[in-house]
Amino acid sequence: MFAVYRKEITLFFSSLIGYITMGVFLIALGIFVWLFPVENSVLNSGFATLNTLFDDAPMILLFLIPAITMRLIAEENKNGTMELLTTRPLTDWQIIGGKYFAAVSLFIISLLPTLIYYYSIYQLANPVGNVDHGEILGSYFGLIMLGATFTAIGIFASSITSNQVVAFITAVSLCFIFYKCFDYVSMLPGIFGKSDYYVQEIGINEHYNAVSYGVIDSRDVIYFLSIISIFLFSTKTVLQSRKW
């Protein structure tokens, strides 16, 4: 598994597209946090918080993570190297695990520069250091869990096609459905009634928001791990089906 992990990390950083993807993510996030919209930016909000970062980051991750995962298996399918990988002394889980943890690592590496924002509001607070550390750390944990979930969805999307563009579009669509669509469906008048709460609970956004308050509930962690497991198992099923 480590060989697959190392290969994916090396391929990402040996490509200009990898650096462009990370650069676009950080630039877009920086613009939304510090500049636009003006009334909600950190500099104009009057509060030493990173709420803007954690509110806007998920929508940017909807595109960043599929951009990272779209080639992981789709390219192997296109080049015919997936069959070569399966002939090596590697199990399907080792192949999937190596690619999955490589993508998660790349996402976390992309997120690390945002710690500068944390340091900035720490220094800008009055008095210095007057920030809610628990809320910020909880929000970062929620963002990592969200990214890990999107990664599992992205790898599944990459496994069902040999076209990277199709994998990207499929991953973005699935991530959006699981992140936002259940909230929208629950708000439809006269359909679910008092059950709308349970419809919201199916979606990712409800659990992400809960963790972002700084309180890490085991139920939210179990939810994220369950969605990750479902999509990774689905990816394994797709890989196995091609051997039949």
Could you tell me the pTM of the whole model?
0.91
- Output the DSSP codes for 158-208: HHT-S-HHHHHHHHHHHHHIIIIIHHHHHTSTTTSGGGHHHHHHHSHHHHH
Q: Which of 47-56, 80-89, 141-150 has the lowest mean pLDDT?
A: 80-89
Phi, psi of 160 (to 5 degrees): -95, 5
Q: What is the DSSP letter of 131?
A: S
Distance CA 151, CA 65 (A): 6
Q: Is the pLDDT of residue 242 over 60?
A: yes
Tell me, what amino acid is at 54?
F
**pLDDT digit string, tens, across residues 166-186:** 999 999 999 999 998 888 777
Q: What is the pLDDT of residue 134?
A: 81
* Mean pLDDT along residues 215-224: 88
What pLDDT, on a 0 to 100 scale, did the predictor assign at position 174? Answer: 95
Picking from 24, 27, 21, 28, the residue whose alpha carbon sits closest to that of residue 56 is: 28
Q: Rounded to whole angstroms, how far apart are CA atoms 202 and 63?
A: 22
pLDDT for 201 equals 83
**What is the phi-psi region of residue 126: left when phi exceeds 0, alpha when psi lies from -120 to 50, beta otherwise?**
beta
Q: How far is CA 168 from CA 46, 162, 199, 215, in A?
A: 38, 11, 26, 33
pLDDT at 244: 52
Q: Which residue has the higher pLDDT, 34 or 72?
A: 72
Structure tokens at 131: 């920030």
**What pLDDT is recorded for position 190?**
62
Give the pLDDT band (50/70/90) at residue 40.
low
Per-residue pLDDT tens over the stretch 73-126: 998 888 877 767 766 777 889 999 999 999 999 999 999 998 888 888 888 777
Residue 44 has pLDDT above 70, yes or no: no
Backbone dihedral angles phi then psi of residue 216, each to the nearest 5 degrees: -90, 105
Instruction: Give the closest residue to 65 by CA, choosing from 29, 23, 107, 112.
Output: 107
Mean pLDDT of 26-43: 75
pLDDT digits (tens, 9 = 90+) for 226-241: 999 999 999 999 988 8
The predicted structure's pLDDT at residue 91: 84
Can you give the pLDDT at residue 168? Answer: 95
When the pLDDT of each residue in the chain is averaged and rounded to a whole number, the result is: 85
